[in-house]
Amino acid sequence: MKNFLLIGLVLLAGCSSASPTVEETAQEVIDLLVDGEFEKVHDDFFAEKLQESTSLKELEEVWKAETSGTFNGVRSLESSERGDSYQVVEAEIEYSGVIFQVRMTFDEALQLVGINLAGEGANVAAPDNVTEEQVVVGEGTEYELEGTLTLPNQESDNLPAVILVQGSGPSDRDEAVFSYKPFRDIAWGLAEQGIAVLRYDKRTYTYGSTMSPEELQSLTVYEETVEDAVRAAELLKNDSRIDSSSVYLGGHSLGGMLAPRIDMEGDFAGLLILAGSPRTLAEIIYDQSMAMLEDEDEIKFAQDEYEKSQGLTDLTKEEALSETVFGLPAYYFQEMDTFDAGALAADSEKPLLILQGEDDFQVYFDKDFAIWQEILADKENTTFISYPGLNHFFVDYDGPGAGTITEYEHPGVVDEQVIHDMTDWILKQTNQ
C-alpha cells in the first residue's frame, strides 16, 4: 500500500564487515537529506529500481514527517555486507533528542536500492519480568528471518504462545511505523501475563532490496507472509517450553486478512485478527485512496485501477504477471483473491477473536468490522471487540492530525485494554 499510504520507504537488511567508501557515501546521503536536498538524493543516489518504486515526493514527505525538530548529528554509522553484491549501512541520527535509525542498502555501484527510516518508538522500558531470546525463523532455508521470542521470566513448561504477523509492505519484527512499535508492545504485555510471543522480521524487509525484478514481479502473499508464519509455528511447536497445542496466530491488518489462510497449513489453536478485513486488498486500497486523494487526476487513476482490479479473474497468470494494479503486480492481487478470508473464517472450527479500533482510517469499523460480524454471526466461538478512540495500531490519539497518517508521528503505545483482552481470550481458550 506504499503508493497510497506513506507509512515508510522501501526496505533492506544487514550482516557484518566494513567499508569506509560505503560509509562515506551513506554519510553524504544523510547530510543531503538533512539539508533538504531530496532531489539530489533521488536523482544521484537512488538506483533505477528504487527511483521507480519511491517517488521524490514520497522521499521528501516521509523524511519531513518523521524528523521534525533540530538536527543534532549522527550518533553512529556502521556498514555490513549482504552476499557479494550489496552493502548495508545502519546509522543512528538525532533530532531534538529523539533517535532515529536510518538503514540503507547499496549495490556494487554504491547506488541505493533500499532506504528505511524509523523512530526509536515511545519511551517504554522492557518489563523486568520478561526475557527475550533471539531466534531464526526458517533456519536452514533460503530465507532465514531474524526474530525475537519473548517469554515470562518464571520457568515454566507448556506455555501458551502467539505468533505475530505484520500488515502489508516490508516490516520489521516490531511492526515499527514512525514511533510506533505495536508488536513490541503486545509481546511485552502478553509475556507479563505468562504468554510467550514470537515476532520476526518480514521476508520483504530482510530480502526485498536484493530480490530480482522477476522475483518481485511474481511475489505473492504466500512467499511474502504465509510460508514464514507456518515456519514460525513449527519453531514454536518444537520448543519444549511451549504447549504445542496452544500456539495462536495474531495477525494485524494484512496479517489478519491472511490468518485463516495461514491456519490451513499452520494449524493454530485459534486466530486473533487485529484490524483485519474480509474484503479484498484492492477494495481496501481504493477506499484509502479515495479518502486521502484530492487531485482529480490521482482520483481518476485510483478509480481506473480499481476497475482494472475487478477483471483480474479473466486474466491468465502470464497476463497478470505483465500488468500492474495500484502500482503492484496484478498477479499479487489475483493469487491472493483465490482465497476468500471471510469464507475461510466462517468455515473454520477454530476460535476467533476479532479486534478493531473504532477510529481506524485504514480498515473501517463501520465497514470491515461490520462485515466480519455479519459473516460470522452464527459462529459461536467468535468474539468481537471494538475500541472507541483507537486507531489502526490500537493507539489512542486525539490531537492534531487525527484521522490522517500525521497521527502516527506522535509517540504512542498499544492500549492496555487491548492487551488485557488478548490475554483473557488466550488464557480462556487454553484452560478450556
Contact 89, 104 (CB under 8 A): yes
pLDDT at 5 over 80: no
**Whats the size of the chain, residue-wise?**
432
d(CA 283, CA 25): 41
pLDDT (tens digit per residue) in 222-259: 999 999 999 999 999 999 999 999 999 999 999 999 99
pLDDT (tens digit per residue) in 34-60: 999 999 999 999 988 888 878 898 888
C-alpha cell, 406: 500525521
Neighbouring CB atoms inside 10 A of 424's CB total: 13
Alpha-carbon distances, residue 364 vs 96, 132, 309, 356, 372 (angstroms) = 35, 34, 20, 8, 11
Contact 129, 152 (CB under 8 A): yes
| Strand duo 71-82 + 86-95: pairing | antiparallel
C-alpha cell, 169: 509492505
Locus of grid cell 477454530: 350
Q: Which residues contact 415 (CB under 8 A, 6 or more apart)?
A: 387, 390, 394, 395, 396
Q: Is the dihedral of CA 391, 261, 367, 303 positive or negative?
A: positive
Mean pLDDT score across all residues of the chain: 89
Neighbouring CB atoms inside 10 A of 384's CB total: 16
DSSP 234-250: HHHHT-TTEEEEEEEEE
Neighbouring CB atoms inside 10 A of 255's CB total: 30
**Percentage of the chain lying above the pLDDT 70 cut:** 92
pLDDT (tens digit per residue) in 315-359: 999 999 999 999 889 999 999 999 999 999 999 999 999 999 999
- pLDDT in the model for residue 120: 58
- pLDDT in the model for residue 322: 93
- pLDDT in the model for residue 209: 82
Whose CA is closest to 265, among 239, 221, 231, 220? 231
- pLDDT in the model for residue 11: 28
- pLDDT in the model for residue 20: 52
Lowest mean pLDDT among 251-260, 279-288, 407-416: 407-416
- pLDDT in the model for residue 40: 96
- Give the single-character DSSP code of 422: H
- Give the single-character DSSP code of 291: H
d(CA 308, CA 306): 5
pLDDT at 2 over 50: no
pLDDT band at 124 (very low <50, low <70, confident <90, very high): low
The backbone torsions φ and ψ at residue 92, rounded to the nearest 5 degrees and listed phi first, read: -110, 125
71: enclosing H helix or E strand: strand 71-82
pLDDT (tens digit per residue) in 18-39: 345 899 999 999 999 999 999 9
- Which CATH number is correct for 130-278+340-431, 1.20.1630.10, 3.40.50.1820, 1.10.10.10, 3.40.50.10300? 3.40.50.1820
C-alpha cell, 318: 502470464
Lowest mean pLDDT among 278-287, 291-300, 302-311, 388-397: 291-300
pLDDT band at 126 (very low <50, low <70, confident <90, very high): low
- Which CATH number is correct for 20-119, 3.30.70.60, 2.30.29.30, 3.10.450.590, 3.40.50.880? 3.10.450.590
pLDDT band at 88 (very low <50, low <70, confident <90, very high): confident
Same fold, 20-119 and 130-278+340-431: no
Q: Is the dihedral of CA 383, 384, 389, 391 positive or negative?
A: positive
- E strands along 166-314, which residues? 196-200, 242-252, 271-274
329: enclosing H helix or E strand: strand 328-329
Alpha-carbon distances, residue 413 vs 179, 273, 418, 422 (angstroms) = 9, 18, 11, 15
Whose CA is closest to 356, among 402, 427, 417, 311? 417
Alpha-carbon distances, residue 296 vs 54, 300, 303 (angstroms) = 21, 6, 10
pLDDT (tens digit per residue) in 188-206: 999 999 999 999 999 999 9
For range 156-162, the mean pLDDT: 92
d(CA 364, CA 165): 20
C-alpha cell, 28: 553524504
d(CA 277, CA 95): 36
Locus of grid cell 549501512: 89
DSSP 134-189: EEEETTTSSS-EEEEEEEESS--SSEEEEEEE--SS---TT--BTTB-HHHHHHHH
**Per-domain boundaries in the chain:** 20-119, 130-278+340-431
